Amino acid sequence: MMILHATQASPWWIHALAAVALLLHVGAGFVGIVSGTAAVSFRKGGQLHRLAGEIFVGAMLTMGAVGAAMAVVLSQWTNVMGGTFTFYLIASAWATVRRKDGGAGAFEATAMLAAIGAAVAGVWFAWLGAQRPDGLIDGQPWQPAVLFAAIAALAATLDFRVLRRGGIAGVPRLARHLWRMCLGLFIAASSFFIGQQQVMPVATQGSPLLFIPAFAPLALLIFWLFRVRTSRQFRLQAA
């Protein structure tokens, strides 16, 4: 958990700024988990789904941006990478459904560069951690950085395909929106239920049951991708 540390000698506004930043980060993450869960539960394309989705996007963009900024102050560069990539996932997922004509432009090109940067950073951090005797980078094992780099590289490759084709439409557009939204929800849920166990009731801390809500978004991702690809309803909706 990221905590902005302010010494007793720091001005009052430094303490206030640190408290507001932490509240924004944690609060936005909680709202993101709740609204994201609602969005995947409501009928796709319906009014409630759209409302929950808009709240989710706003909350997740806030969480990612504030988290990355906090991590810069704390020199936690892996968290800078994580916050920035979360922002990228949600922003590109939102832009995908906003472009009704399936076009592509400067936003998609910039997003692709962000994903490439995240992939390179993931490889770099993994290499740094692997060189250290304790195998840690920013207090975390280096191996997850490899998986992170692979996901970011995949996202960048898919961005390149969208740019090369001049856009994306139909079922692939829905699938692109869904997997990015669900992966962003997974980042928020896993960060909260696994990474923030100190705020949980003592009886639940360290419990393997916390992995259920943390990894549920991945199960939802697989379910919705399969349904979007195979359901006639979604093919008609995407046409």
Tens digits of per-residue pLDDT, 9-40?
556 556 677 778 878 888 899 999 999 999 98
Which of 83, 81, 80, 38 lies closest to 56 in space, CA to CA?
A: 38
Say what the pLDDT of residue 12 is: 58
pLDDT < 50: residue spans in the chain: 1-3
pLDDT digits (tens, 9 = 90+) for 60-94: 999 999 989 888 887 788 889 989 999 999 999 99
Among residues of the chain, what percentage have pLDDT more than 70?
A: 89
Say what the pLDDT of residue 35 is: 95
Say what the pLDDT of residue 3 is: 47
Query: Is the Cβ–Cβ distance between 94 and 57 less than 8 Å?
Result: yes
For the chain, state the CA radius of gyration. Answer: 19
Angle subtended at Cα 76 by Cα 84 and Cα 219, rounded to the nearest 5 degrees: 50
CA 146 from centre of chain: 17
